[in-house]
């Protein structure tokens, strides 16, 4: 078999996608029920009518990319301002990783400080400053080669969910911190049971004049209340959004509050935000179309959340009844199967217990594949508005059989 000329993660000739529609993706000329939906981006499904109309409009109106300020970015920013009035300005880019990079740049420029506080278990994309993880003792472990040594020196982890230990670390570095970066709901363990912890961090950063930086790439617009922060009335200084806002097309949004914007002006800071395709007309038009549609039809996100809640409840009841070594966790319309029945509250614990069942977990993934269900490698399930009741029931029944077969 000829080797691919692509070095990106996951590429091999045995599994290549070609087309997609609704809830299904074609891989090697076979249709699979898609449980990834472009890592959560396709909240309305593949090639939805809204996307198709937007692309048709773009062609009809002769919209192109100009590398020049465009009216469609202005229109989209107005839409965002109506949804998130607590943010003063928006900066557009092309991905979540790029948004985090530029967000961190803002934090360093505004504060003049360098230490980034991250939470264990969070994921912030392909960013040098965050391509590390930590164990239960907060020891740093890099996730990639080629990372500059100085980035490690300026990165400190706090244990997600542990207020006492987090406060101790924050107190030690608080005068040198440029920001506290956190995924409020972690894809590693989707659950809202750590709300007290998030509230503690919000209050601590405000009290100590530290920038509170929320990464809502996943929860932004997927949450039926528009975002985690609007649901729980938390007001961060800076937030990054993306994914669902463009319905599967590449986008990153950095949102800053009035205080940060004022400091940028007062200090006359020259912070570079540019990029050839940043805020380009085509993506701005698509994003505005998708975002307005989701806001106009709140039943979409509400209905997907109900599907997810039912999914979690039914499968956990089945798991308990059959005494299986697994548990389902969920938040909004995302879910994850944890291959352990231990009481888990963070990613480090999840990784520790799942290692014992790694072979069974891999067998389960292959089983799902054989049953024409694309079960994401990272284990995070994202439901979309395109998933039918029949498909959801098939997925649940297939999971039940698989768990009983491999995790008894």
In tens, the pLDDT along 139-188 reads 788 899 999 988 889 999 999 999 999 999 999 999 999 999 999 999 88
Instruction: Report d(CA 289, CA 57) in Å as an integer.
Output: 10
Q: Which domains does the chain have, with CATH numbers?
A: 17-47+299-406 (3.90.1150.10), 49-296 (3.40.640.10)
Contact 129, 152 (CB under 8 A): no
CA dist., res. 375 & res. 284, Å (int): 31
**pTM (two decimals):** 0.95
Distance CA(395)–CA(33), nearest Å, equals: 8
- Average pLDDT of the chain, as a whole number: 93
* pLDDT score recorded for residue 14: 74
User: In angstroms, rounded to a whole number, what is the distance separating the alpha carbons of residues 182 and 95?
Assistant: 17
Which tokens is 80 given? 């965002």
- The better pLDDT of the pair 408, 44 is held by 44
Name the CA dihedral angle for 166, 242, 40, 214, rounded to a multiple of 10 degrees.
10
User: In this predicted model, what pLDDT tens digit does every residue of 224-264 receive, in sequence order?
Assistant: 999 999 999 999 999 999 999 999 999 999 999 999 999 99
pLDDT at 379: 86
Beta partners for residue 140, in sequence order: 134
Summarize the confidence of residues 373-384 as an average pLDDT: 92
Q: Do 238 and 211 contact (CB within 8 A), yes or no?
A: yes
- CB contact set of 286 (below 8 Å; sequence gap of 6+): 51, 54, 55, 58, 246, 247, 249
Q: How deeply is 353 buried, as exposed, middle or buried, from its count of CB atoms within 10 A (0-12, 13-18, 19+)? A: middle
């Amino acid at each position: 078999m000829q080797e691919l000329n692509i070095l990106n993660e996951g590429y091999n000739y045995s599994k290549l996608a070609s087309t997609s529609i609704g809830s299904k993706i074609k891989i090697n000329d076979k249709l699979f029920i898609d449980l990834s939906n472009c890592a959560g981006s396709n909240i309305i499904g593949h090639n939805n009518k809204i996307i198709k109309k937007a692309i048709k409009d773009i062609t009809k109106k002769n919209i192109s990319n100009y590398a020049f300020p465009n009216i469609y970015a202005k229109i989209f920013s107005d839409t965002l301002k109506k949804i998130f009035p607590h943010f003063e300005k928006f900066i557009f880019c092309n991905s979540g990783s790029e948004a985090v990079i530029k967000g961190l740049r803002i934090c360093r420029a505004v504060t003049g400080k360098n230490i980034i506080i991250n939470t264990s278990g969070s994921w912030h994309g392909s960013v040098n400053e965050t391509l590390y993880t930590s164990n239960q003792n907060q020891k740093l472990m890099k996730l990639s080669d080629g990372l500059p040594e100085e980035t490690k020196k300026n990165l400190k982890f706090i244990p997600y969910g542990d207020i006492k230990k987090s406060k101790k670390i924050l107190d030690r570095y608080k005068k040198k911190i440029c920001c506290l970066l956190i995924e409020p709901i972690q894809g590693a363990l989707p659950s809202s049971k750590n709300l007290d912890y998030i509230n503690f961090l919000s209050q601590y950063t405000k009290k100590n004049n530290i920038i509170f930086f929320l990464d809502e790439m996943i929860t932004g617009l997927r949450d039926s209340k528009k975002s985690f922060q609007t649901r729980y009335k938390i007001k961060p200084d800076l937030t990054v959004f993306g994914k669902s806002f463009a319905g599967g097309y590449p986008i990153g949004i950095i949102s800053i509050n009035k205080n940060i914007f004022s400091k940028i002006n007062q200090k006359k800071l020259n912070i570079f935000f540019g990029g050839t395709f940043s805020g380009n007309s085509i993506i701005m038009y698509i994003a505005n179309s998708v975002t307005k549609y989701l806001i106009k039809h709140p039943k979409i996100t509400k209905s997907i959340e109900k599907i997810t809640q039912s999914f979690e409840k039914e499968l956990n009841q089945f798991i308990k009844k059959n005494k299986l070594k697994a548990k389902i966790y969920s938040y909004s319309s995302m879910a994850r199967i944890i291959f352990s029945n231990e009481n888990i509250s963070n990613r480090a614990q999840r990784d520790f217990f799942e290692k014992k069942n790694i072979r069974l977990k891999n067998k389960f993934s292959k089983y799902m594949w054989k049953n024409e269900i694309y079960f994401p490698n990272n284990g995070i399930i994202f439901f979309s508005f395109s998933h039918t009741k029949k498909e959801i029931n098939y997925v649940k029944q297939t999971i039940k059989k698989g768990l009983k077969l491999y995790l008894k």
